[in-house]
Amino acid sequence: MGRRRVPFIAPSWVAVLAAACLGLVLAGSAAIGRASVQYNDLALFAQVLDLVRDNYVSDVDEHDLMQSAVRGLLRELDPHSSFMTRPIYEEMQIDTRGEFTGVGIEITKVQGGVIEVVSPIEGTPAFEAGILARDEIAAICPTEIPEAWDEGESCRDTADMTLADAVSLMRGPRGTEITIKIFREGFEEARSFTIRRDLVQLASVESSRLAPNFGRLRIRSFQERTAQEVSEGLEKLHTEIPGGLAGLVIDLRDNPGGLLNQAVQVADHWIAAGLIVYTRGRAESQQEKYHAQVEAEEPAYPIVVLVNEGTASASEIVAGALQDHGRALVMGLQTFGKGSVQTVFPLGDGAGLRLTTSLYYTPAGRSIQEVGIVPDVEVSPTSDARGLFHGRTRERDLQGHFSHSDANQKGDVPDEEAAEAVAESAEDSGAEVEDQPERVDVPLVRAIEVLKSWNYFDHLSERRARGGGLAARDDGGAETTGGGASDSGSGEAPPAAP
């Protein structure tokens, strides 16, 4: 490569400079000044590149050096803008699509150890082949041997293999086979398992029935099929509970986010009309308002949204929209606070650019950047460890993040139509968390208690509206009406378990 890259770069900027000089006639001296700064900056970069290449203590790979420079350029912007090499970009696309061709196992690796199976994904080739959680993958024997392997090498131990290397080897065209050597407790030596690769789909939504007539949707991330999976999960719950859902828990804990359009479509299941979220960016194309498209598909049953410090980005959009519209009670811990939107641009050679292009705002015009979604009812996993959970990393802890005041300056007040559709958040009920064994999911238990008490007060209100209620007479002959709780108070929830 040598020095010939420098004159290749310079002429293109000479052309820019010439164009700027022409623009001087039309736009004045400011244009030529900007072009001159650009040219000088590029010349400085080329000079540094030359000096490093010719004088550094050891040889450097110019390609790696240039990619490091691009990464450094983006690192100065904000924590969420980044350059993605081809493998990272491909992995990001897989995460977004939620499907790939491979064997279907989640793996991990302890430094200096072999690759270990976290869990086989149910219904995948690895699951059908009998791979179990905590199996150790001692070696991988791919059908197509990588060019970098030594001649005659057909299998490679995983002790010196990275996770990325192992994933790359086990993925491949649908219908092809791969052999992995497994060691598990009870095996005297590693055994070979030959697995035929197939399409593996990663479900982002899990639905389950809680108690007699309550349901739970656990949304792990927002992928291309998440809204569809939510529809399927709700349909499953309605089938299992023919009498109708008495309440729903939407569990967004530790959901890192994902696709903005999927967050909008998910929230649209329960919001009848009005604004769901809007974005503000420098480019005109980034000024967007996302409204509910149709009347809410779901009946008006009570909803509790569970959140914690790992709830971020797209999941905060859903929680904020349901909270602003008064459609759900948000419970848990204050969320991560990522109020920015990233656009992914494909680059040459299969690389990609993730760039922060706008900030988003809830229907009420709130920016959650740095501050997150504040729950209506704060519930910690364990009361004794409350302080520990408040110490997790949030957006405000990331170096170079946008501040909440920066975000507010870019936003505006929602239009009147959207503002009218937004209801005030429910008041904090002051629920307390009792000491619980560590294995108990305390926030989920409390969510069910709130839904049960919610229904209790709804039924009580209906009875009082009809003039019903059991009448009883005390010793003094005074007539009293049972169920003397307030219609609107949340009160102390009766003890319950999911």
Catalytic residue among 338, 367, 376, 425: 338
Is 313 one of the catalytic residues? Answer: yes
**Which residue, chain included where needed, has tokens 């001159």?**
36
Alpha-carbon distance of 249 to 164, in angstroms, equals: 36
Pair 317, 373: CB distance under 8 Å? no
Structural element, H or E, at residue 214:
strand 214-219
Pair 443, 379: CB distance under 8 Å? yes
Cα diameter, the chain? 105
The alpha carbon of residue 343 and the mean position of all alpha carbons in its chain are separated, in whole angstroms, by: 15
- The dihedral over CA atoms of 36, 37, 41, 43, expressed in degrees to the nearest 10, equals 10
* Residue 474: both structure tokens together: 């005390």
Catalytic residue among 135, 251, 268, 324: 324
Q: Would you call 119 helix, strand, or coil by DSSP?
A: strand
186: left (phi over 0), alpha (psi -120 to 50) or beta: left
Alpha-carbon distance of 50 to 45, in angstroms, equals: 9
β-strand 198-201 against 99-102: which pairing, if any? antiparallel
The Cβ of residue 458 has, within 10 Å, a number of other Cβ atoms equal to: 14
Q: What separation in angstroms does the CA of 346 have from each of 63, 351, 355, 359, 437?
A: 18, 6, 11, 21, 48
Is 474 one of the catalytic residues? Answer: no
Is 475 one of the catalytic residues? Answer: no
- What are the residue numbers of the active site? 313, 324, 338
